[in-house]
Structure 1
Amino acid sequence: MAAVVLGVICLITLANVVVRYFTNYSFAATEEISVALMVVLALLGSATAVARRRHIAITILIDRLPRPLKRFAEVIAETATLVMFLLLVWLGGELAWDVYRFEETSPSMGWPQWIYNIWLPILAALIAARAAFMIIRSLRS
């Protein structure tokens, strides 16, 4: 999915460069779509990092702990990840609901703003589910 999103961003940017080169005009709206897709791309990357345990971690102390304490520290870190992304689900959902309720539109294209904002709680929920799965996996092993 991330590769598809990145490909779309590249195509939009290429189209904008070609049009600007030949006409001296820019598709101003393409930046709006590209920025929204970059947020989606970052969240997809976060989902992969959580599933593979590749998130940023300072392990100098954890590496020196005995195995049972190391597992406990992993569960604590995964729980913190779960809590953070559940907060993003909640707050992102409120944001998407507010822009939908107040009928806000995007600056360039005039599209409903919730189309861009809805991806934050959806993808954060995916990441939270992956974090919960990782906690269960850690507790079972």
Structure 2
Amino acid sequence: MSSDLLEAGLATDAPETRVPITIERALSALAMAALCVITFANVLARYFTDYSFAFTEEYSIFLMVVMTMLGSAVAAAADRHIRITFVSDRLPAPVRRVTDTIAWGAALVMFGFLIWYGGRLTYDQWRFEETSPGLGNPQWLYTVWMPVLSVVVALRILGRMARILRRSV
């Protein structure tokens, strides 16, 4: 992106992805809106009645996990994941490409673990019919989203790695 576009305000922050990240952004906005509504309702209920809604904690934790995973997918697609680039930015382009691929590979392995172990946890919760402590809902209904959204993040990481490897040396 040229500096002329940045100065003119014509540059967008949209990443060069084949699949647009609009879905992840919209779902995370919905999760944030739901979190704000139930938290605000709980505050109002506590203020006016001295009682709180018991369900808000369970749903709030669930919505925070969903927002975190969707945010990770957007960050992976946009190449905005937190990392220390002090050294890698000063490396020659071919070496930087290798270090970027290794870093994204490590992220892919980590999300692979989340897929595997999150799936096992979800399966165990379903098999043993665990229920949530506050509302008594099946616990796997909350947990299933961790491996599912980890797959989304892993796919975004694979897309980022493909763009890095296609980039000219």
Query: Shorter-chain-normalised TM-score: which range?
Result: over 0.9
Q: Where does 1:1-141 land on structure 2 (aligned, <5 Å)?
A: 1-141=27-167
The alpha carbon displacement at 1:102 in A equals 0.4
The alpha carbon displacement at 1:127 in A equals 0.3
> 2: distance between equivalents of 1:126 and 1:97?
19
> 1: distance between equivalents of 2:34 and 2:112?
28
Partner SS, residue 134 of structure 2: coil
- Equivalenced residues, count: 141
Partner SS, residue 25 of structure 1: coil
> 1: distance between equivalents of 2:164 and 2:111?
18
> 1: distance between equivalents of 2:48 and 2:83?
47
What TM-score, normalized to structure 1?
A: 0.96
Stretches of 4+ aligned residues off by more than 3 angstroms? none
Gaps of 5+ in 2: 1-26
> 2: distance between equivalents of 1:125 and 1:44?
11
> 2: distance between equivalents of 1:131 and 1:15?
37
> 2: distance between equivalents of 1:114 and 1:133?
29
> 1: distance between equivalents of 2:161 and 2:46?
49
What TM-score, normalized to structure 2?
A: 0.81
Q: Sequence identity, in percent?
A: 52
